[in-house]
Structure 1
Amino acid sequence: MKTLLQICASATVIGIICLIISHEYTSHHASKTKEKVYIYNWGEYIDPSLIHKFEKQTGIKVIYETFDSNEAMEAKIRNGGTHYDVAFPSDYTVEKMKKEQLLHTIDHKKLSNYCNLDRAYLNQDFDKGNRYSIPYFFGTVGILYNKEQYADINFNSWASLNQPQLRNDILLVDGAREVMGMALNKLGFSLNDTNEDHLNKAQSELSRLAPQIRGVVGDEVSLMMSHHEANVAVVWSGVALPLVEDNPNFDYVVPEEGSNMWLDNMVIPKTAQNKEGAYRFINFLLDEENSKQNTEWVGYATPNKAARAQLPAHIRNDKSFYPTQAQQRSLEVYRDLGQQKLGEYNDRFLEFKMNLR
């Protein structure tokens, strides 16, 4: 028979063991719940329910922040502070960040869903071999117009915007590369042109277009078009798609002289502190079901061929939003022009805006 002292000693040992087990369980559980992945994306550029789904599936907490320009995103990553694990730069910004050694190379073997991507949107000039970036969404710059209002105008050319009846009825997106690129393409030049004479001619072309312009706008373009405050707009395809789908009077076309095909991408910044979490998040978004859901919510075109195959036929077969290989030959991806030339584009665009009416 155990003495009272023995019983107390045994109880003490058992208590210590329980405390140790409890501490180990708590520490292990806490370490799991403490894992986070920091995401830096454009505003309204992911279905929020997918974030919750990722957290539930993986146990990884998503810390999600947004930016409103490539320049702001790049500057914040370069300056440190928050150590983002995944960011979403556009094509020319990937090229710039790569040059500045701000990005990790990507191990494709860690992305089992990489095979879902369409080869047509891989291996672009800004990142050959996709060593630093994975395509997320893509689109074009084109003309959105009200067919009922202007049934007699063929908008297949940038020159159509100069017709007299369009006076004070055209909206332009507030982007120097887009607007200068439109003028350059109309004249038969590259939208990445840095020739001074060509840029002067493009700026003169914009001056001739000025009487047609009702405004240079941002997010309000959709509202203004739907309320007939303007009937023509030079916009990104993702802005045009909801209007075209919801109203049969609207149509969208990419002019035959050429235009921009942009690609937004997923990258892992050099300052990332959870690379494995970053791979899991990227791979999650490349899953065909998740990509389909995300595409339907965001409204831009997906480079994920497996997801695209599940979209309604009228969307996946619409050449205005999913251009054919032949159409893509007249489209260009923005390149990094360098700080000096980019500043010149911005200055010329600012001068154009200041001279409107």
Structure 2
Amino acid sequence: MNPLSRRHLLRALGGGAAAAALAGCGVPAAYVGPGDRAARDRSASDHRLTFANWPLYIDTDEDDKSKRPTLDAFTKSTGISVTYTEEINDNDEFFGKISPALMNHQATGRDIVVVSDWMAARFVRLGWVQEMDRARQPNVAKNLDPQLTTPAFDEGRLHSVPWQSGITGIAYNKKRLGREIKHTGDLWDPRLAGKVTLLSGLDESFALLMQGDGVDVTRWTADDFHRMCDKVEKQVHKKQIRRFTGNDYIKDLSTGDVLACQAYSGDVIQLQADNPDIEFVVPEEGAELWAESMMIPNLARHKANAEALIDYYYDPHVAAELAVWVNYVCPVPAAREVLAASKDKDRAELAEDPLVFPDAEMRQRLAIARDITSEERLEFAKRWNAIVGL
């Protein structure tokens, strides 16, 4: 099963603009200093925690959908009960839900939250999340994918730990198209006119399109951004692009209304189960590697319990169970060996899927994009949303 509702578009200046205004220039008014982020930790006497995540983003029991085997096993082994909520449907919406408490130095009632990297960057800049104690997290220290350890927004991954990762690349119907796609520029082939979609969200779409122009997205510039927008604008005017989408590109690709599109790796694994003609490609110019990360908000009452749960999911056997369910890029490469040793054919095959465990050749073409800064966001969102029609 695949969580289709996680990576949504940046609303037309709405939540994005409000968040940018909060971030301001330099040290924002809503910024919380390191000394004001921690509350008295009740973990030793209060064996529980609250975990806020996206829908359909964890393993569930096939016979009883209310049960989550890996969480149940954690509670059984540690005695820590977990209140698990599927309340995050959109990064900006969730930001709006908990920001009043955080900016006013109040507890959110949550011990772990999961947000996309670009939103995680905002939380780190605002000082709204706590630094984790890696001495309590040996599995994270040992097993975190090296390619995910040094995002620009959180040096050393001190405030965030990936829950799952993924790739933004290109999906296409090889049989209907009649040829392979190898480059981002192949989307602009006149034979595909009106049969191409791009993602509508600025944060979700810009990196792959820049990479298609040969840009190093770890250190892109405003000139790179506007040059990319110029190119996309030209393709809109030529009617090359059918429309800009959220996750509804899945339906367009399935029905054949679209032959090639920007897409997320995990979605395509699910599509391929129903249609083996669907292909996912990491273009030769590169694709974006992203993560949705666990963070501990300021004034969380069960920080040590939260750190224990985060570390638990970095045990390769637990990570393997999660990978089987969600089918995104597993942030624990050692989980591959666990699945490869399985006597279950489907599990063993998953270990060989490069969209779950990218091989060395694919990894050379993956990069984590530099985040859009608070100073850039208003200008860039305005330009992008005008192109998209938001």
User: Do both proteins adopt the same fold according to a TM-score greater than 0.5, normalized to the shorter chain?
Assistant: yes
Q: How does 1:182-221 map to 2 (within 5 A)?
A: 182-191=208-217, 195-210=221-236, 211-221=239-249
TM superposition shift of 1:75:
4.2
Residue in structure 2 matched with residue 134 of structure 1 by the alignment: 161
TM superposition shift of 1:160:
0.4
Aligned residue type for 1:282: I
Q: Are 1:339 and 2:390 matched, yes or no?
A: no
Q: Say whether the 8 Å CA contact 1:37–1:274 is kept in structure 2.
A: yes
**Residues 99 and 79 of structure 1: is their aligned pair in 2 closer, same or farther, counting only changes over 3 Å?**
same
Q: How does 1:17-96 map to 2 (within 5 A)?
A: 35-48=47-60, 49=68, 50-57=70-77, 58-80=79-101, 82-96=108-122
Aligned-residue CA RMSD in angstroms? 2.8
Partner SS for 1:105: coil
TM superposition shift of 1:326:
5.0
TM superposition shift of 1:320:
4.9
The percentage of aligned residue pairs carrying the same residue is: 25
1:286 to 306, 314, 326: 314
CA distance in 2, matches of 1:146, 1:120: 30
Gaps of 5+ in 2: 1-42, 61-67, 102-106, 340-346
Aligned residue type for 1:36: R
Residue deviations 1:206-249 (CA, integer Å, cap 9, x gap):
02322122222223222332222322221111111211244221
Partner SS for 1:62: strand
Residue in structure 2 matched with residue 147 of structure 1 by the alignment: 174
CA distance in 2, matches of 1:94, 1:221: 25
**Residues 197 and 120 of structure 1: is their aligned pair in 2 closer, same or farther, counting only changes over 3 Å?**
closer
Q: Say whether the 8 Å CA contact 1:169–1:213 is kept in structure 2.
A: yes
CA distance in 1, matches of 2:299, 2:98: 8
CA distance in 2, matches of 1:271, 1:340: 28
Q: Are 1:239 and 2:267 matched, yes or no?
A: yes
CA distance in 2, matches of 1:342, 1:148: 40
TM superposition shift of 1:120:
3.4
TM superposition shift of 1:334:
2.9
**Residues 105 and 36 of structure 1: is their aligned pair in 2 closer, same or farther, counting only changes over 3 Å?**
same
Residue deviations 1:108-146 (CA, integer Å, cap 9, x gap):
221243233333332343323222222221111111111
Residue deviations 1:287-315 (CA, integer Å, cap 9, x gap):
32221121111110101123222334543
Q: Say whether the 8 Å CA contact 2:219–2:369 is kept in structure 1.
A: no
Q: Are 1:316 and 2:351 matched, yes or no?
A: yes
Aligned residue type for 1:125: A
Residue in structure 2 matched with residue 349 of structure 1 by the alignment: 384
Q: Say whether the 8 Å CA contact 1:308–1:316 is kept in structure 2.
A: yes
CA distance in 2, matches of 1:66, 1:309: 33
CA distance in 1, matches of 2:110, 2:294: 12
**Residues 293 and 196 of structure 1: is their aligned pair in 2 closer, same or farther, counting only changes over 3 Å?**
closer
Partner SS for 1:255: coil
Residue in structure 2 matched with residue 9 of structure 1 by the alignment: none
TM superposition shift of 1:321:
4.9
CA distance in 2, matches of 1:179, 1:134: 23
CA distance in 1, matches of 2:380, 2:360: 29
CA distance in 1, matches of 2:256, 2:72: 38
Aligned residue type for 1:108: R
Residue in structure 2 matched with residue 261 of structure 1 by the alignment: 289
Q: How does 1:159-178 map to 2 (within 5 A)?
A: 159-178=185-204
Q: Say whether the 8 Å CA contact 1:37–1:277 is kept in structure 2.
A: yes
Q: Say whether the 8 Å CA contact 2:144–2:333 is kept in structure 1.
A: yes
Residue deviations 1:155-196 (CA, integer Å, cap 9, x gap):
111110111221211222231123333332222224466644
CA distance in 2, matches of 1:332, 1:116: 19
Q: Say whether the 8 Å CA contact 1:38–1:85 is kept in structure 2.
A: yes
Query: Aligned residue pairs: how many?
Result: 324
Greater share of residues in helix: 1
TM superposition shift of 1:350:
1.4
TM-score (norm 1): 0.80
CA distance in 2, matches of 1:339, 1:261: 21
**Residues 354 and 100 of structure 1: is their aligned pair in 2 closer, same or farther, counting only changes over 3 Å?**
closer
Q: Say whether the 8 Å CA contact 1:238–1:300 is kept in structure 2.
A: yes
Q: Say whether the 8 Å CA contact 2:53–2:84 is kept in structure 1.
A: no
Partner SS for 1:252: strand
